Amino acid sequence: MADYIESLNLSISYIEASLLEGPNYEKAARIAGMSKASYQRFFLAVAGMTLDEYVRRRRLQYAVTELMDTEHKIIDIAVKCGYQSAAAFSRSIRSFTGYTPSQIRKQGTSVHFPKLSFQIQMKEGEMSVNETSIVRIEEYKNQKAVCFSVDCTDPENEAWGRLSEWCRKNIPDRTARKYIGVAPLGHHPQGEEHQNASEHTKHPYTAMMYLIGDECNQDEFYGKKVEDAPSGLFLVNDASLNQFDENGDIDMALSLIKASEAFVEFIKQNPEYAFDCQAHIFYEEHIFSEKWFQKGGVPDGFRMWVPILKKQ
């Protein structure tokens, strides 16, 4: 996780070094270890603004510093910061600070927009990057689900395909449900190393849909046996599907491996908790839109659940 944060901060250093000529967001994302789309979404979540807005404000901050600390002509500063006219530059500076460039040169301004820095923060069972939660403790008990279990080659597609077909026939509010997947023996039960997104190994896998309300009191729901859902304490991480194989395909397994670094860091920072080694598995929460139910593909969102224990 420390390496993850370091990579993010290195990406910001690159953006800062190329503010005036215009940073390449693809390069910034590669430095951070993400795809461009994932990097832009992560930046918006953590910084509360788009990359474009961050670059614009940092350029204006550079311009303000130039106005206050140098005697460079205002038009030269404007051109250096990417403005084609003094009028456009003046409007932007006034919107940013409340003052014109000439006023700032005479009296200064207290407006300051600093360089972004990513930091890990811990509070009340939650780990955040800056103010954005990335790992949190959640407890589940007395939950019920219907399950679709298979043991075959490429079992994830098979299990989720069966669940999707059943949901389309029976569940009108399917996009509002909670969906969990688990490989009870792991995705590589023979001990093989993960290769790429296209590998197809044989192993058991279960896809499940959680039930709600009175549905939980039934023995059977639309022809499916009602079963106990996973229960206990879990570390939950909103994982980004941001890792790709050599063919450019989203590698879900590698993305989960990357996301698991945050769990390790959380346990290091919170010694009163420990991983539940007896469970030795993790759960995958898939978030589906109606488009997924109709056409399949990559989930619209993804969370990892890792079982933990609170030490006595």
pLDDT band at 301 (very low <50, low <70, confident <90, very high): confident
Q: Is residue 309 over pLDDT 60?
A: yes
160 and 37 inside one domain: no
Which of 206, 189, 180, 160 shows the shortest CA–CA distance to 305?
A: 180
pLDDT more than 90, % of the chain: 57
Which of 170, 153, 156 shows the shortest CA–CA distance to 284?
A: 156
Q: Is residue 191 over pLDDT 80?
A: no
pLDDT band at 57 (very low <50, low <70, confident <90, very high): very high
For residue 127, is it within any domain?
A: no
User: Which CATH number covers residue 82?
Assistant: 1.10.10.60
Max mean pLDDT among 207-211, 257-261, 301-305 falls in 207-211
User: Which CATH number covers residue 163?
Assistant: 3.20.80.10
36 and 179 inside one domain: no
pLDDT at 268: 82
Burial of 262 (0-12, 13-18, 19+ CB in 10 A): buried
Burial of 16 (0-12, 13-18, 19+ CB in 10 A): middle
Work out the average pLDDT over 254-281.
75
pLDDT more than 70, % of the chain: 86
Amino acid at the residue 101: P
Range of the domain at 206: 136-310
pLDDT band at 194 (very low <50, low <70, confident <90, very high): very low
Residue 164 CB contacts under 8 Å (≥ 6 apart), including other chains: 292, 293, 296
Cα-Cα end-to-end distance for the chain: 27
Q: Is residue 251 over pLDDT 90?
A: no
For 124, the token pair is 């009340």
Work out the average pLDDT over 198-217.
88
Work out the average pLDDT over 159-184.
96
For residue 126, is it within any domain?
A: no
Which of 195, 187, 142 shows the shortest CA–CA distance to 281?
A: 187
Q: Which residues make beta-bridge pairs with 226?
A: 146
pLDDT at 192: 56
Spatial distance between the Cα atoms of 224 and 74, rounded to a whole number of angstroms? 73
